[in-house]
């Protein structure tokens, strides 16, 4: 189902939503996502949890396979039903 918001921010998929295209957002396990090291110089490769990366890769591959093999294109809003863009804050 298409998003009903064209707000940007929060995740990369919102840029697609803002342009009126289907944006697919993946949720991440919040346990280690918003720690004090997230997106800092302390957020380094040795802190990667290999099992988490393997599971995420499988989920992304499955989502890509599903999207590529749909019988129809991903849903989009018709021009007359497109939600209005949200002004940047």
* Tens-place pLDDT, residues 21-43: 777 777 766 666 667 777 788 88
Distance CA(54)–CA(58), nearest Å, equals 6
Q: Look up the domain containing 63 and give its range.
A: 13-70
- CA dist 73 and 4 (Å) reads 18
pLDDT surpassing 80 at residue 60: yes
Question: Is residue 36 in a domain?
Answer: yes
Residue 87 lies in a domain: no
User: What's this model's pTM, rounded to 2 decimal places?
Assistant: 0.61
- Does residue 1 surpass a pLDDT of 70? no
Nearest-angstrom CA–CA distance, 87 and 81: 18
Structural domain contains residue 19:
yes
Residue 30: inside a domain:
yes
Q: What are phi and psi of 52, to 5 degrees?
A: -65, -40
Question: At which residue do the structure tokens 């289907």 appear?
Answer: 22
Is residue 54 assigned to a domain? Answer: yes
Categorize the per-residue pLDDT at 15 as very low, low, confident or very high, splitting at 50, 70 and 90: confident
Is 8 inside any structural domain?
A: no
How many domains does the chain contain in total?
1
Domain membership of residue 65 (yes or no) is: yes
In a domain, 35, yes or no: yes
- Residue 6 neighbours by CB distance under 10 Å: 19
């Amino acid at each position: 189902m298409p998003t009903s918001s064209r707000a940007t921010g929060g995740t990369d998929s919102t840029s697609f939503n803002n342009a009126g295209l289907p944006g697919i957002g993946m949720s991440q396990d919040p346990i280690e996502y918003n720690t004090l090291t997230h997106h800092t110089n302390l957020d380094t490769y040795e802190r990667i949890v290999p099992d988490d990366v393997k599971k995420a890769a499988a989920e992304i591959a499955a989502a890509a396979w599903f999207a590529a093999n749909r019988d129809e294109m991903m849903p989009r809003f018709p021009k007359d039903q497109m939600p209005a863009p949200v002004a940047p804050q």
